[in-house]
A and B are shown apart, each in its own frame.
Chain A
């Protein structure tokens, strides 16, 4: 079974600084997707970024980028120029590419932005 581990329950960063959230996963598959979701106080899940395992290039979305290390099964999220609106719970998630599309979530990291 696939597992996703987020070892940082809480993180904080000064506004405008950069922060990196860690995620590791375990799978025997070679073709899969990895995601970072943001859950603000409203509880609405928002997709931040997606990475396809067969792509070597790290995904980027504006201030958000990932460091995908397939061999190490590591998938960290870097947030640059942190803003107050970035404060939220961040969940790392895994999904197999074929057939069953279940998302497996990590336990989450609560990010606090310090003004």
Chain B
């Protein structure tokens, strides 16, 4: 099956620094990747949709200057948390969709990465 990896799996950084999280599709090409945030005991909240070769689309309330997303290739998207603060501590999950449409209907489900736990001290 399709595999999505994330690196690092966990990271601790100091307040005010930036941290980059990578999301890779290992055995398929992904024109679209999604970034989610999950607080403890809560659901996944979509932060942004990342499209290869174009700017990401951010959900309402998500600061695009704070959460920089780059989707430079068909297998890699990165999320950079800039000037991190303790309230940014969370579990970040990416997902990727395989390329392809069937009669204009997107029939492919998203494949999820294992997540990255970010702790800002």
Contacts and interface: CB of A to CB of B under 8 A. Distances in A.
Interface of A: 31, 33, 35, 42-47, 50, 91, 97-108
Contacts of A42: 114
Nearest to B106: A101
Contact of B34 (A46, A98, A103): A103
Nearest to A44: B114
B43 A105 contact: yes
Contact of A101 (B43, B97, B112): B97
A42, A46, A98 — most chain B CB neighbours (10 Å): A98
A35 B108 CA distance: 12
B43 A45 contact: no
B46, B93, B110, B115 — most chain A CB neighbours (10 Å): B110
Q: For the complex, would chain B's binding face be called helix, strand, loop or mixed by DSSP majority?
A: strand
A46 B97 CA distance: 15
A107 B93 CA distance: 16
Nearest to A9: B41
Given A103-B46, A106-B43, A108-B43, A98 B106 contact: yes
Contact of B105 (A97, A100, A102): A97
Contact of B49 (A35, A47, A102, A108): A102
Interface in B97-115: 97, 104-106, 109-110, 112, 114-115
B42 interface: yes
A12 to B, nearest CB: 17
Contact of A44 (B46, B97, B112): B112
A34 to B, nearest CB: 11
A104 B45 CA distance: 8
Contacts of A43: 38, 91, 93, 114-115
Contacts of B43: 91, 105-108
Contacts of A44: 112, 114-115
B32, B42, B46, B109 — most chain A CB neighbours (10 Å): B109
